Chain A
Amino acid sequence: MKEELFVSGRNIPNIDPFLNIWHWQIPVYLFLGGLAAGILFFAALFTIMGKADKMEATVKKAPLIVPIALVLGLFALFLDLKHQLFFWRLYTTVRIESPMSWGAWVLLVITPLSFVWVASYAKELKPGWNWKWALLDKIEAFVIEKRLWLAWIIIVLSVILGIYTGILLSAFNARPLWNTSILGPLFLVSGMSTGAAVIMLMSRSAEEKKLMGGIDLLLIVIELFFITHMIMGFQAGSETQIASAQLFLGGPFTVPFWVFVVILGLIFPAILEVMERLGIHMPVIVPAGLVIIGGFIFRFIMVEAGQITRYLY
Chain B
Amino acid sequence: MRYAMAIDTLKCVGCSDCVIACQMENNVPLGFCRDWVVESVHGTYPQVGLELRSERCNHCENAPCVRCCPTGASHIEEGGVVVVTHNKCIGCGACIQACPYDARYSHPEGYVDKCTFCNHRLTEGLNPACVSVCPTKCMYFGDLDDPNSAISNVLATRKFKSLAPEAGTKPQIFYLV
Contacts and interface: CB of A to CB of B under 8 A. Distances in A.
Given A81-B90, A86-B90, A95 B69 contact: yes
Contact of B68 (A2, A19, A81, A171): A171
B38 interface: yes
B135 interface: no
Nearest to A97: B67
B44 to A, nearest CB: 6
Interface in B1-19: 14, 16, 19
A72 to B, nearest CB: 18
19 contacts: A4-B38, A4-B40, A6-B39, A8-B16, A8-B35, A10-B36, A15-B105, A16-B102, A82-B91, A82-B92, A83-B109, A84-B90, A89-B71, A90-B90, A93-B72, A97-B68, A100-B68, A100-B92, A173-B167
Interface in B87-122: 87-94, 96-102, 105-106, 109-112
A120 interface: no
B97 A82 contact: no
Contacts of B128: none
Contacts of A80: 92-93
A176 to B, nearest CB: 10
A18 to B, nearest CB: 10
Contact of A90 (B31, B71, B166): B71
Interface in A76-118: 80-84, 86-87, 89-90, 92-93, 95, 97-101, 104
A209 interface: no
Nearest to B86: A83
B22 to A, nearest CB: 10
Contacts of B40: 2-4
Interface string A1-35: 11111111111111110010110000000000000
Interface in B62-98: 64, 67-73, 87-94, 96-98
Contacts of B87: 86
Given A10-B33, A21-B96, A82-B111, A89 B88 contact: yes
Contact of A6 (B37, B42, B68, B101): B37
- Top 4 closest A-B pairs, CB basis? A82-B91, A83-B91, A83-B110, A8-B16
B160 interface: no
Interface string A150-182: 000000000000000000000111110000000
Interface residues of B, number: 51
A95 B71 contact: yes
Contacts of A225: none
Given A82-B106, A90-B90, A100-B94, 18 more contacts: A2-B41, A3-B41, A6-B39, A9-B16, A12-B32, A15-B96, A15-B102, A82-B111, A82-B112, A83-B89, A83-B110, A86-B71, A89-B90, A95-B69, A95-B70, A172-B64, A174-B100, A238-B166
Interface residues of A, number: 47
B46 interface: no
Contacts of A310: 100, 102
Interface in A254-313: 307, 310-311, 313
Among B43, B68, B88, the one with the most A-chain Cβ atoms within 10 Å of its Cβ is: B68
Contacts of A14: 105-106
Interface string B144-168: 0000000000000000000110111
Contacts of A12: 31-33, 105
A77 to B, nearest CB: 8
Contacts of A311: 100-101, 164, 166-167
Contacts of A2: 40-42
Nearest to A96: B67
Contacts of A81: 90-92
B52 interface: yes
A247 B35 CA distance: 29
Contact of A7 (B39, B68, B109): B39
A3 B39 CA distance: 8
